[in-house]
Amino acid sequence: MKSSIIISSILALFVMAGAKAQTGVYVNAGDLQKNNATIDGRPAAGIGNVRLRGGFNASQEFTVVHGGTTTKYAKTKVYGFRDASNISYRFYANTSYKIAEQGNVFIYTREEHIAQSKGYTTETRYFFSNGPEGRILPLTVGNLKNEFRANEKFTDLMDSYFTNNNVAEYDNIHKIFKVNYVFNKAKL
């Protein structure tokens, strides 16, 4: 019995390792929320070998290559994309942001190169939006208070939970970013 469980577990790992995540395009925020990535308007699932080029650079378009077909998309005409690692991104102001959490407060990250005296270092910067279609702003207490100023209970709770140094903190107990935990507390 024990050996059959071990063998089943090993087989499941091989199957998962061989399975490829489906890359695709989110035409709008609704597609992201429904996990409905498409290519040329067709569901991305089952399309197979898909590559994305230019999604992270400053160009105004990106290319999806699948089979023998290459499709160009204007970043201003689509919401975002899901890469081969099953990570979703949103385009905003010709920049791609990794979607770290989809909550009342959408949390995004972006790797940025910071110049130093010798070379550069890469730092993760945190951003947010008010819902899936709100403007993307740096994740600071001041920006949160300004963006959610109509939600007085949330803005009041921020003072007791955050400083600008910990506003991007992840709550390992509740498995969400602390800012969404506080937002949910404000709804109670």
pTM for the whole structure: 0.80
Tens digit of pLDDT per residue, the chain (188 long)? 443 333 333 333 333 333 444 678 898 999 999 888 887 666 665 555 555 666 666 678 877 776 677 778 888 888 998 887 888 999 998 888 999 999 999 999 999 888 888 888 889 999 999 999 999 999 999 999 999 999 999 999 998 999 877 899 999 999 999 999 999 999 86
**Model pLDDT, residue 20:** 44
Q: Which tokens go with 59? A: 């160009």
99 DSSP β-pair partners: 108
Question: How many beta carbons lie within 10 A of that of residue 44, not counting itself?
Answer: 22
User: Quick one: CA dihedral 156, 158, 159, 161, positive or negative?
Assistant: positive
